[in-house]
């Protein structure tokens, strides 16, 4: 009964995805919080789409896109000689898109609540825009960053439909814990399914409880 393999793979996927989402999501959230361009709602809608779309729709398009004849998958195939679909790298890309709103929205909310004049004060005190971002905006948005990290991590850990369609079920490569549970239920191994499900249940509760506790105590004021 291997529980740890799929669980470890899930944790790896969630960690890498969270890290990538910090790199991509932070500038997107900052731009969304500052811009006044007319097409901002369109960008917001695209970022939020994974929340409302069925995972199968996301998974279907990602499969097409990442497949060896797709725009991204074809390019990747030429570059590396391997396909993105049914690989860990493909899962990371799919997870980043799928969890994007869970990283961007908390950060955007945090950035939007920054008083504009406080940044102006930082600038007139000799800080460049970049300096003021890291020395004022980031520490003042710490709660938003914690929320974004926890939600991205937990949401990636819990995804199922997209992973199944893009990644399939390859042990050690794409067989994450939610797929493993599905497998065990399919083959009527309820005992093993119970073990993994309980573990995830406890994990989800612990992580969310931890986040709310931290956010309650760790207010910048």
Q: Residues interacting with other proteins, by CB under 8 A?
A: 115, 117-118, 120-129, 131, 135-136, 139-140, 142, 220-221
- CB closer to other proteins, 121 vs 190: 121
Q: Which is nearer to other proteins, 38 or 130 (CB)?
A: 130
Comparing CB distances to other proteins, the nearer of 112 and 183 is 112
Q: How many residues does the chain have?
A: 221
Query: Shortest distance, CB of residue 15 to other proteins, whole angstroms?
Result: 27
Query: Is 114 strand, coil or helix?
Result: coil
CB of 78 to other proteins, least distance (A): 43
Nearest distance, CB of residue 220 and other proteins, angstroms: 5
Nearer to other proteins, 128 or 187 (CB): 128
Closest CA to 201 of 158, 141, 138, 139: 158
Burial class of residue 112 in the structure, from the number of CB atoms within 10 Å of its CB (0-12 exposed, 13-18 middle, 19+ buried): middle
Per-residue three-class SS string for 133-148: HHHHHHHHCHHHHHHH
Let me know: does 12 contact 90? Beta carbons within 8 Å.
no
Distance from chain centroid for Cα 87: 18
In the complex, what is the shortest distance from the CB of residue 133 to other proteins, in angstroms, rounded to a whole number?
12
Residue 101 contacts residue 32 (beta carbons within 8 Å): no
Rounded least distance, CB 32 to other proteins, Å: 20
Q: Is 164 within 8 Å of 98 (Cβ atoms)?
A: no
Tokens 């890291």 belong to which residue? 134
Nearer to other proteins, 93 or 137 (CB): 137
Whichever of 40 and 129 has its CB closer to other proteins, that residue is 129
141, 107 in Cβ contact below 8 A?
Answer: yes
At its nearest, how many Å lie between other proteins and the CB of residue 165? 43
Distance CA 56, CA 65 (A): 14
């Amino acid at each position: 009964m291997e529980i740890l393999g799929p669980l470890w793979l899930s944790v790896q996927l969630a960690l890498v995805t969270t890290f990538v989402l910090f790199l991509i999501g932070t500038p997107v959230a900052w731009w969304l919080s500052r811009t006044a361009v007319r097409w901002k709602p369109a960008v917001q809608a695209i970022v939020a789409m994974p929340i409302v779309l069925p995972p199968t729709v996301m998974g279907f398009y990602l499969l097409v896109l990442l497949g060896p004849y797709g725009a991204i998958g074809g390019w990747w195939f030429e570059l590396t000689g391997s396909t993105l679909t049914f690989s860990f790298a493909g899962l990371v890309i799919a997870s980043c898109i799928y969890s994007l709103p869970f990283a961007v929205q908390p950060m955007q909310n945090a950035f939007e609540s920054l008083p504009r004049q406080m940044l102006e004060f930082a600038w007139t005190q000799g800080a460049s825009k970049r300096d003021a971002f890291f020395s004022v905006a980031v520490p003042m948005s710490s709660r938003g960053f914690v929320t974004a990290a926890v939600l991205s991590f937990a949401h990636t850990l819990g995804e199922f439909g997209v992973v199944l369609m893009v990644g399939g079920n390859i042990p050690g490569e794409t067989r994450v814990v939610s797929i493993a549970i599905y497998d065990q239920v399919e083959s009527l191994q309820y005992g093993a399914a119970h073990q993994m499900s309980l573990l995830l249940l406890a994990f989800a509760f612990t992580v969310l409880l931890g986040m709310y506790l931290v956010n309650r105590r760790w207010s910048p004021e």
